[in-house]
Amino acid sequence: MKSWTHDQIPDQNGRTALVTGANTGIGFETALSLARKGAKVILACRNAEKGQSAVERILQQVPTAEVSLELLDLADLNDVQKFSHRVLDKEDRLDLLILNAGVMVPPEGKTAQGFELQFGINHLGHFALVGLLLPLVQAASGSRIVVVSSTMAAGGKIQFDDLQFEQRGYAAWPAYGQSKLANQLFVQELKRRLRAVGSTVSVTAAHPGWTRTDLQRNSGFVRFLNPLFSMKPQQGALPTLRAATDPQASTGDYFGPSGLFQMRGYPKRVSMVKRAKIEEDAARLWQISEELTGVHFDFGRN
């Protein structure tokens, strides 16, 4: 089968996409490609300077792009609320909501509400964002929510009695694995809940294999191995772009690179890890996430 490349991205004119963490790496390349295909793109970034620079870099390459910056810090649920209200005020619909932002193995730290940083940013912040922006996603026909996970979900375990690593002490890689497994469980439960109400909104997922980006800022070892194993961000963005735009993609589909150990290559459908398919865990994580974020999803509208 022909490799899925940027050429396969359908025309995006008339569509609105919101990409979290779009100032660099995979998020930037995703936003750039969508803008190139005609989408109106909202870059949701935590740093104004970096975000503005990303807007300018997109405009340099696509002078006709309709691209804007909206500041969002996923490590603060109050900020996620304020951000969502601004977007709800400005936009009448979202065709693509791409949950890309993430941190990997940072030094021990807490979000504004006291959650472990990786679980708080990678999972809870995005969980709240989707709950708050759902009315805009439901307002677009054929809309999609895209979740960016990782092969590191395979080593992840959701320790329900110690989600914040308070009892066992902080361990950076297990915490990253937990957050990326949480991303996959979120997809499974969101898919189930959308189906239950007959929604036309779909949810897909992707992982970028091994792509050299700022994500590795906290791991000298991974950075050292980058030249041997990694892809450039432009190619690393392809699984996300496919999950977002492939007309053949169905709700629940997960895309990753096709090469050895899914580290590199063009995107193909891949399987989520076994632990992501435990329905009981997906439902339990959902309930806890609602409690921790205070965001309760309203699926009232289709």
Ligand X SMILES: NC(=O)c1ccc[n+]([C@@H]2O[C@H](COP(=O)([O-])OP(=O)(O)OC[C@H]3O[C@@H](n4cnc5c(N)ncnc54)[C@H](OP(=O)(O)O)[C@@H]3O)[C@@H](O)[C@H]2O)c1
User: How many residues bind ligand X, per CB under 6 A?
Assistant: 30
Residue number with the smallest Cβ distance to ligand X: 25
Nearer of residues 27 and 156 to ligand X, judged by Cβ = 27
x/- letters, 179..198, toward ligand X (CB under 6 A):
--------------------
Nearer of residues 26 and 194 to ligand X, judged by Cβ = 26
CB of 116 to ligand X, least distance (A): 13
Q: How far apart are CA 145 and CA 296, in angstroms?
A: 17
Q: How many contiguous H segments (helices) and E segments (strands) does the chain have?
A: 10, 8
- Contacts with 291 (C-beta within 8 Å, 6 or more apart), sequence order: none
Q: Is 26 in the site for ligand X (CB under 6 A)?
A: yes
Nearer of residues 25 and 174 to ligand X, judged by Cβ = 25
CB of 146 to ligand X, least distance (A): 11
In the numeric block, which tokens belong to residue 230? 């990694």
* Residue whose C-alpha is closest to residue 154's, from 270, 234, 64: 270
Q: How far apart are CA 159 and CA 183, in angstroms?
A: 14
State the pairing for strand pair 202-206/16-20.
unpaired
Q: How far apart are CA 224 and CA 246, in angstroms?
A: 34
Q: Is 249 in the site for ligand X (CB under 6 A)?
A: no
176 classed as catalytic: yes
Q: Is 235 in the site for ligand X (CB under 6 A)?
A: no
CB of 89 to ligand X, least distance (A): 20
End-to-end CA distance of the chain: 35
Q: Contact region for ligand X (CB under 6 A) — 82-90, 98-106, 265-273, 277-285?
A: 98-106
Q: Contact region for ligand X (CB under 6 A) — 69-77, 132-140, 194-202, 244-252?
A: 69-77
Phi then psi for 175, rounded to 5 degrees? Answer: -70, -35
Nearer of residues 9 and 72 to ligand X, judged by Cβ = 72
Q: Is 211 in the site for ligand X (CB under 6 A)?
A: yes
Nearer of residues 8 and 218 to ligand X, judged by Cβ = 218
Report whether 130 contacts 99 (CB < 8 A). yes
Report whether 253 contacts 204 (CB < 8 A). yes
Q: Which of 170, 176, 254, 266 is catalytic?
A: 176
x/- letters, 133..162, toward ligand X (CB under 6 A):
---------------x-x------------
CA atoms within 13 A on the CB side of 136: 24
Q: Is 74 in the site for ligand X (CB under 6 A)?
A: yes
Q: How far apart are CA 9 and CA 12, in angstroms?
A: 8
Helix (H) or strand (E) holding 292: helix 279-293
Q: How far apart are CA 217 and CA 17, in angstroms?
A: 27
CB of 174 to ligand X, least distance (A): 15
Active site residues per annotation: 176
Binding site for ligand X (CB under 6 A): 20-21, 23-27, 45-47, 50, 72-75, 100-104, 121, 148, 150, 207-208, 210-211, 213-215
